[in-house]
Structure 1
Amino acid sequence: MWWLILLVILVAIIGWLMLDFKLGRSHFIRTRTRRDYETRMSDIQLFSRGPELFDQMFKEMREARASIHVLFYIVQDDHFALRFLELLKGKAQEGIEVRLLMDQLGSHNVPKSKVKELRDAGVEVDFCRRVKLPYLFFSSQQRNHRKITVIDGTIGYLGGYNIGKEYIDENDKPELSPWRDYHLRLEGEGVHDLQTEFCIDWFRATQKDLKNEAKYFPPAEKGSIQHQIFPTEGVNIEDFFGKFIDEAQSEIIIGTPYFIATPILMDALLGALDRGVTVKIIIPNNADHMLVKEAAFPYFRPLLARGAKVYQFMDGFYHAKVMVVDDHFCDIGTANFDKRSFFINFEINNLIYDKGFIQTLKKEMEKDMSASDMLSESDLSSVSMLTRLKERVASAISILL
């Protein structure tokens, strides 16, 4: 009889989780605000290695004269994160306005003692996307996955890198090192949009409104690259990506650590293959989370059958979030090509319309592909029963992976 009681409890818990998630997301979608930024002109620099990125970012933080605003999904508790936090503390002690916003769950390793130390030094620190009633499960799943840095209102950064030793080529797991990712540095008109997004997230966490403070939005000169900041909050990405895939004429390249497509995007990719478009997808060979690799297999089988090329990156862990369509559009940001990014998380991407930049990006992606092994149809036709079981489980919970 005890097993029947356990079964009833288990069914009740699963039912509550499903209802909580459905009602929570429905409530959020009804109350959210959509922001569509104009096309801007900025100078944009691409970083593909953590040491070079953080050397530049930290140098400019040390040179800050007015303000430093930082939002990261993950800040770890290790020597590299300590170096980052000590930098912020030092700048606050110089009299610079420093604000640090972290996702509550993503940065849960940051010690409370370190947060107090930062605040005592003058750094304004807070956590966003807190787990709260009435939708405990949904709020625990909806993460702020953005990475935004704005220095003096004139220099901005966004992309895939977080703060931790694994992002500078140090990892306790050799199979996940070095970390391969993409991050962008901006100067020009687009920095104002990054600043606005930081201010919106800061207000949500603290109820302190910075958006109308002119000192955070100094005059910006036009840069040389046309682009558009694209923030999303659980909607919009699917339709936007689908539109660009439908318009592709020759080539689509997708780089993502997790490939869990929606029916709309699968139809778009299959349609592109049918009309002769080359589709290339770069993924990591080694997964950093359970089931995410198996979750992709049901999507890869029909894509491979239609002629898509899937590259499994072998030289470390591939964490890039990028899409290139022909030579006229590319997207780099924080959104993975998966349902969690499409339907749950807060993300921020940069849509770039510049052939010169796209050629630079494609050269980097060619390096990724040359460091990869090709996935074949036969690889997926002879998987074990355990792998098939994992696929089924992953499909059932794919939106949460």
Structure 2
Amino acid sequence: MKVLFILLIIFLFIALWLSIDFYLGRKKQLMKLERKEYPFWQSSLDIFTEGPDLFDDFFSELKKAKHHIHILFYIVKDDQFSTDFFNLLKEKASEGVEVRLLLDRIGSYKVKKAAIQSLEREGIKFSFSQKPKFPFLFYTLQARNHRKITVIDGKVGYIGGFNIGKEYIDLKPKLSPWRDYHIKMAGEGVAGLQNEFLTDWYESYKENTLTNPVYFPDLPKGQCRHKLIPSKGAFLEDTFSALIRQAKKSIFIGTPYFIPSQKLLNDLSAALNRGVSLTIIVPKVADHPLVKEASYRYLRKLLKQGAIVYEFSNGFYHAKTLIIDDEICDVGTANFDHRSLFINYEINCYIYDHEFIEKVKKVIETDIHDSRRMTLKELNRFNPVRTLKEWVAGLLTLFL
């Protein structure tokens, strides 16, 4: 009995310490944040949904680089595909191209010290983003740089959901084929991607190149009107809320993790009540424990009100998109979950071009064809294991 009491005291002490650490760490982060929003730009945009196609194009553009390559990924793995990626960067550095590589410290934990040293020997500037540190160790372990940004010669950019690893090119059977949305950009908006990369780079590497005009060449206008909206653990909830509240006809959400805040859940519920149709795609196969179960209590409420929910069944669905009334389309790095809303660094592209939105809608039609419709009856069916998982997931909502 005495041992159990001591263990309980230890558990309560750890829980209290983690809670204080997280609260104070987040408070410190919020104190230095300001809302950042770029103007409307005109760029040429294309969308990739399959890893092999994206990375064929991505590697091709990297090979064409003449002056600089700036890359930020959340995840780079320790596998052959990652090695091929590193080797291409080394090749470009040997040609005299400036290469800067920024990886999230936790997301890319598999990148070994020897690999980093090899990159640096070839002249590549490397840094980890968001390194965990005291005094708020627990919070800084949670606050990740979830962005995926590439800028080549200041003229071509990429943003979206793909990372670097074999699963992203369909070489991991459980999660294959990997379905994601990634944008290629040429035109005015690339300056925004460049600015965000160099801001994160300065924060991590302490090299300030933001005012160097060589990284910001004159850029042509493209046909797609769009806006880049970065976030760092704040303001994204308000942005999503404003989009949902303005919906008059339809809302589409594609996300691998549907764990909305109470405010966004209320907004979606209100939209349904005023006659707006709501369609959601989530994956049938999960890549992390408890994320599916965490979504069920929200999906039940929306299904009761008439929402249509699909489970993508042809591989793993990792896309992050929001379409309002077929007039505004968001494609970016943010999931529809608490981590993206309140903790992570994210960047989204809001597109206001009818032709591009129609292209995305055709992609979604294909994804719905490869999905199975979820029913309220199956979610309410007696399942004690699932019920237990839902309860545990509810306790961990912020960290899933």
Check whether TM > 0.5: yes
Match of residue 71 from structure 1 = 72
Deviates more, 1:385-394 or 1:186-195: 385-394
In structure 2, the residue matched to 1:61 is 62
1:171-194 CA distances to partner (integer Å, 9 max, x unpaired)?
Answer: 0xx331110000000011000000
Comparing 125-134 and 269-278, the one that deviates more: 269-278
For 1:239 and 1:114, locate their aligned partners in 2 and report how far apart those are by CA, in whole Å.
40
Superposed, 1:240-255 pairs within 5 Å as: 240-255=239-254
Cα deviation, residue 33, structure 1: 3.5
1:394 aligns with 2:393: yes
1:79 counterpart letter in structure 2 = Q
Please say if 1:157 is aligned against 2:158: yes
1:7 lines up with 2:8 in the alignment: yes
After superposition, the C-alpha distances for 1:199-257 in whole angstroms (9 at most, x for unaligned) are 00000001110101100000011111000011001111111111111111111110000
| Structure 1, unpaired ranges of 5+ | none
Distance 1:352 1:387 in 2: 38
Is structure 2 residue 167 aligned with structure 1 residue 205? no
User: Counterparts of 1:52-131 in structure 2 under 5 Å?
Assistant: 52-131=53-132
Following superposition, the deviation at residue 328 of structure 1 comes to 0.8
Unaligned ranges ≥5, structure 2:
none
1:177 is aligned with what amino acid?
S
1:35 and 1:269 map into 2 onto residues whose CA distance is: 25
Q: In the aligned structure 2, how far is the partner of 1:310 from the partner of 1:175?
A: 22
Task: Give the corresponding residue for 1:50.
Answer: 51
* SS of the residue 1:48 aligns to: strand
Residue 147 in structure 1 maps to residue 145 in structure 2? no
Which amino acid in the other structure matches residue 105 of structure 1?
A: I
Amino acid at match of 1:176: L
Matched residue type, 1:196: N
Displacement of 1:381 in angstroms is 0.8
Shift of 1:32: 2.2
SS of aligned partner of 2:43: strand
Summarize deviations over 1:245-279 as a string: whole Å, max 9, x none: 11111111100000001111111111111111110
Following superposition of structure 1 onto structure 2, how do residues 214-293 of structure 1 map, counting pairs within 5 Å?
214-293=213-292
2: CA distance, partners of 1:126 / 1:243: 35
What is residue 300 of structure 1 aligned with on the other side? Answer: 299
Three-state SS of the structure 2 residue aligned to 1:347 is strand
Deviation at 1:345, TM superposition (A): 0.2
Query: Distance in 1 between the 2:38 and 2:218 partners?
Result: 17
CA deviations 1:360-390 (Å, max 9, x no partner) are 0000011111101111010111141221121
d(CA) in 1 for partners of 2:251, 2:351: 15
Partner of 2:259, secondary structure, is: coil
Q: For 1:32 and 1:241, locate their aligned partners in 2 and report how far apart those are by CA, in whole Å.
A: 18
State the secondary structure of the residue aligned to 2:186: strand
Report the counterpart of residue 349 of structure 1 in structure 2: 348
Verify the 8 A CA contact 2:35 2:235 in the aligned structure 1. no
Q: Secondary structure at the match of 2:13?
A: helix
CA distance in 2, matches of 1:383, 1:144: 39
CA displacement at 1:34 relative to structure 2: 2.9
Counterpart of 1:35? 36
CA distance in 2, matches of 1:25, 1:81: 33
Letter of the 1:212 counterpart: T
Partner residue in 2 for 1:375: 374
SS in 2 for 1:181: strand
Tell me the CA shift for residue 151 of structure 1: 0.2
- Distance in 1 of aligned mates of 2:352 and 2:23: 36
Given that 2:18 and 2:138 are in contact with CA atoms closer than 8 Å, whether structure 1 keeps it comes out as yes
Closer, same or farther in 2 for the Cα pair 1:241/1:283, shift >3 Å? same
* Equivalent position amino acid for 1:76 in 2: K
* C-alpha deviation, 1:45, in angstroms: 0.5
Code of the residue aligned with 1:389 in structure 2: it is: L
Shift, 1:148, TM fit: 0.3
The amino acid that maps onto 2:32 is: T
CA distance in 2, matches of 1:34, 1:359: 30
3-state secondary structure, aligned to 1:182: strand
Cα distance, 1:104 vs structure 2: 0.4
